[in-house]
Amino acid sequence: MSVREKVAEVLQEARDLLSTLEEKEIEQVLCALRKWQKKRLFFWARGRSFLVLKGFAMRLMHLGYGVHIVGEVTCPAIQEGDVLIVASGSGKTSSVLLFAEKARDLGAEVLAFLGRRGTPLERVVHHVVAFSPEQAGESRQLYTGGGGTRFEDALWLLCDALILALIEGREGEAYRLMMERHANLE
């Protein structure tokens, strides 16, 4: 099988997983993201899911959001009124669950992107977008618990789609502002 065919397979699996999302959850998160533009947003996950969230955080920063990556030396203390955004394919990653509970207890809102429904993490957050891999068919990609690679691929595409939805109708202005905030020490 050629690499081009493998790309088509990866895209199809991501498309299949994305099709399991509930539109209501996505709309609620999009509405929340619009309200959170003046709030401080904190991001936490583990492994490749964290890389996806860091990309999402970067795009939100380009749009003018105040973002912080948990674990970085410049990350301030989370407080009441802040938002923690987490991701977990399994929905039971210990540090993600611990940080979500702690942020909630401190008065922060918590949004979770989950690789499956009915997980411990889903029960402690305020907002959730959860995939349903059992509805997406069998994955031929690397598979670990919540869908592994397929989850991260679909999450990346979902986060990009959320950014596009946030700037809809003002793409020119948004692009200009994003470029003003884009890294220039490169």
Residues acting as catalytic residues: 152
Let me know: does 154 contact 14? Beta carbons within 8 Å: yes
Rounded to 5 degrees, what are φ and ψ at 22?
Answer: -90, 125
Let me know: does 84 contact 53? Beta carbons within 8 Å: no
The angle subtended at Cα 46 by Cα 52 and Cα 150, nearest 5°, is: 50
Let me know: does 19 contact 136? Beta carbons within 8 Å: yes
Tokens of 141: 């990609």
- Tell me the torsion sign for CA atoms 128, 116, 152, 75: positive
Q: Diameter of the chain by CA atoms?
A: 52
- Cα distances from 112 to residues 2, 106, 126, 175, 183, in angstroms, run 36, 17, 8, 27, 27
CA distance 28 to 185: 36
Strand partners, 31: none
